[in-house]
Amino acid sequence: MKKAGKLLGIALAAVLALAVAVIGGLNVAKFILYRDYYRAETAVCKNPGLNDGFVCQGIAVADGEDRILVSGYMKDKEASRIYVTDTSNRSYYVTLHCDGETYTGHAGGLAISGDKAYIANGSKIYTFALSDVLNAQNGDSVNIGKGVKINNKASFLYTDDEYLYVGSFMDATTKRVEEHIFETAEGTHTAICSVYSIDDLSAPVRIYSIRDYVQGICVTPEGTVVLSTSHGLTSSVYYVYDLADATPTEYTLDGAPVYYLEHTVRQLSGPAMAEGLDYYQGEILTLTESASDKYIFGKLFFATDIVSLDLIP
């Protein structure tokens, strides 16, 4: 028995050593595979909530504040959260509710304009006071209202303080909406990003036809558009466009003119599971969900930071 136990211990040690060697090798290989990504990347702070069952989705910087907000859902279906953190890694969270009802939605997009904050999910935009979040204590609950229905799935969100850009994540398993299918120079588009006046969510002012698998959007003051895309364990890709090059079409949706985002000026591949985007000090702020307790593997590859990417031409 002692000999069998010893042999089992040796076998387990060998397996562990092999696993450590493989993970170590992959951690080295990622800097080769994603060389351009790591050249463009700067760590900003730790991504909060990764060990709390929280699955991060949207991200936004509070203007004039050294505070970054991260929205997402809980893997155990508890109330969705917004974490507030800063560059010194001081963080807390609030739980979300809709007029007394616990909110457990995806909380896929997050944007901030002045003292207004916005969450996108389930074809709705929820609007609430940023100060309710910034003045909260850890674990407090914040009311995000009942939401306003918009004309797409509302998977991700961005604001430039004049417009809200809200769009749909689409993949091969998603039910297609016939009027959203467009043939473009970069292939068939089945997703849209609708642009609403920040003061009027009743109807879009224009529509952008975009590629599948988009998780986040950012529109910079220079007119650069960045889309983050990811799907499962495949590489994330960041697509960069010049908004002035968007192709006008003869189509309209809900009374708004349709444009194609189809001519990239840059593409950058990076680690899997990229999520939302925001504009931050001249660069693009982003994060991944791979190191959350739901997926775990990102912990092994140190994908635990909120980062900024130098992507703007």
Q: Provide the H-helix boundaries in 1-115.
A: 2-33, 35-40
Do the Cβ atoms of 195 and 201 come closer than 8 Å? Answer: no
Q: Residue 275's closest CA among 252, 259, 263, 292? A: 292
Percentage, residues of the chain above pLDDT 70: 90
Residue located via tokens 């914040």 = 142
Sorted by where each begins, the domain ranges of the chain are 1-33, 41-309
CATH topology of domain 41-309: Tachylectin-2; Chain A (2.115.10)
φ/ψ bin of 180: left (φ > 0), alpha (ψ from -120 to 50), beta (otherwise): alpha
Convert the pLDDT of each residue in 122-178 to its tens digit.
999 999 999 999 999 999 999 999 999 999 999 999 999 999 999 999 997 888 888
Provide the 3-class DSSP secondary structure of residue 189.
strand
Sign of CA dihedral 220, 225, 226, 231: positive
Convert the pLDDT of each residue in 9-48 to its tens digit.
554 444 444 444 444 554 446 568 899 999 999 999 999 9
Of residues 121 and 19, more confidently modeled: 121
